[in-house]
A = this chain, B = another copy of it.
Amino acid sequence: MPVTDGASVSERTVGRLTLYRRLLNEALSAGTESLYSRELAERSGNSAAQVRRDLMVVGYDGSTAHGYSVRDLLKSLSDYLDRPGGERVALIGIGNLGRALMAYFTGRRPGLRIVAGFDKDPYRHGRVIHGCRCHPMNDLETCIAKEEINVAIVAVPGPEAQGVAERLVRAGVRGILNFAPVPLHLPAHIHVENIDLTMSLEKVAYFSRNGGTERKGNN
Chain A residues proximal to chain B, CB less than 8 Å: 5, 8-11, 14-15, 18-19, 22, 43-45, 81-83, 87, 89, 96-97, 99-101, 103-105, 108-109, 112, 150-151, 153, 173-177, 181, 183, 185, 187-215, 217-219
Contact = CB atoms under 8 A, between A and B. Distances in A.
Given A105-B197, A207-B14, A112 B191 contact: no
Nearest to A175: B208
B201 A188 contact: no
A189 B209 CA distance: 10
A176 B213 CA distance: 12
A213 B189 CA distance: 7
A193 B219 contact: yes
Nearest to A190: B212
Contacts of A187: 212
Contact of A202 (B18, B150, B211): B18
Given A100-B97, A151-B204, A199 B18 contact: yes
22 contacts: A9-B210, A11-B203, A11-B213, A14-B206, A22-B181, A81-B206, A89-B201, A96-B104, A104-B197, A105-B197, A112-B201, A112-B205, A151-B204, A151-B208, A174-B208, A189-B211, A191-B204, A194-B219, A195-B219, A196-B218, A196-B219, A199-B218
Contacts of A190: 212
Given A15-B203, A97-B100, A109 B198 contact: yes
Contacts of A200: 177, 193, 195
Given A8-B213, A104-B197, A174-B208, 16 more contacts: A8-B210, A14-B207, A18-B198, A19-B199, A83-B209, A100-B100, A109-B198, A112-B205, A150-B208, A173-B208, A175-B205, A175-B207, A177-B200, A183-B218, A191-B207, A191-B208
A45 B183 contact: yes
A215 B190 CA distance: 10
A122 B114 CA distance: 31
